[in-house]
Structure 1
């Protein structure tokens, strides 16, 4: 059984990125367990002076979750052509740790318009030494949809199949590493 942590870069209650990750969890292959991390908004702002013995408990939870996971899936919106501060802050808590080094990671997308953030996030994660799975991408256009519409789109058989195949491809990548 592969354990995957999924992180949404959005703090919105009706986040399409979070909805996509919840749907990935529900449609994951039987040999994959996807756990959605929900602590992004509780993370204190990263400060290198607060590392080591002084690492805040919420940051420790994130660090431990990433460390113990076999892989990481991130779905992140784009704000002003960049990665949202909360997502960058979460990654900053991992920078000086071994949690990211060689850890398989995959980006999935809930909007076709987040091109700048995609590139920036991939660059940040590669710089942190995540092993990026880039052989295939999953994009399900949910931007601007109401929650009921999002639910219907994510329940479509073709999208459910695409999610299963994306996670299966990522699982195969993790096993090859």
Structure 2
């Protein structure tokens, strides 16, 4: 069983990115378990002085979750043409650890307009030595939709199939490494 951790880069309660990672967890194909990491807003601000034995417990939970996962999926909004600070902070907690090195990662998108954040996040992920999977991009257009609309869109057969296909190809990528 592959253990994949999915992270939404948004802290909003009604986040479309969070809805997308929840859909990934609900629609995981056989042989895959997708666990949503939902503690982004609880992480302290990264400080290199607080690494090692001084690592805060909340940061240690994230580090352990990524270390123990077979792969990582990130869905990220775009704020002012960049990656949201909370997500960047979480990634900073992983920088000096081995958790990211060679770890398969895939980006998924809830908005067709997040092009700057996509590019920036891909650069960050590659710089951190994640093995970024570019084989099957998953984009479900949820931008500007209210929660009931988001739920309906994510439940549409074509979107459920797209989610499963993306997860299946990502799982194949993980197994091939």
Alignment TM class, shorter chain as reference: over 0.9
Aligned equivalent of 1:70:
70
Q: CA RMSD in A?
A: 0.3
Unaligned ranges ≥5, structure 1: none
Q: How does 1:1-177 map to 2 (within 5 A)?
A: 1-177=1-177
Flag as ranges the 4+ runs of structure 1 deviating above 3 A.
Answer: none
Provide Cα deviations, 1:49-88, integer angstroms capped at 9, x if missing partner: 0000000000000000000000000000000000000000
Instruction: Tell me, in whole angstroms, the C-alpha distance in 2 between the residues paired with 1:44 and 1:144.
Output: 30
Instruction: Tell me, in whole angstroms, the C-alpha distance in 1 between the residues paired with 2:166 and 2:136.
Output: 7
* Alpha-carbon shift at residue 161 of structure 1 (Å): 0.2
TM-score, normalising length: structure 2? 1.00
TM-score, normalising length: structure 1? 1.00
Aligned residues: 177
Unaligned ranges ≥5, structure 2: none
Instruction: Tell me, in whole angstroms, the C-alpha distance in 1 between the residues paired with 2:15 and 2:58.
Output: 21
Instruction: Tell me, in whole angstroms, the C-alpha distance in 2 between the residues paired with 1:161 and 1:27.
Output: 9
Provide Cα deviations, 1:102-130, integer angstroms capped at 9, x if missing partner: 00000000000000000000000000000
Q: What secondary structure does 2:7 align onto?
A: strand
Instruction: Tell me, in whole angstroms, the C-alpha distance in 1 between the residues paired with 2:156 and 2:136.
Output: 20
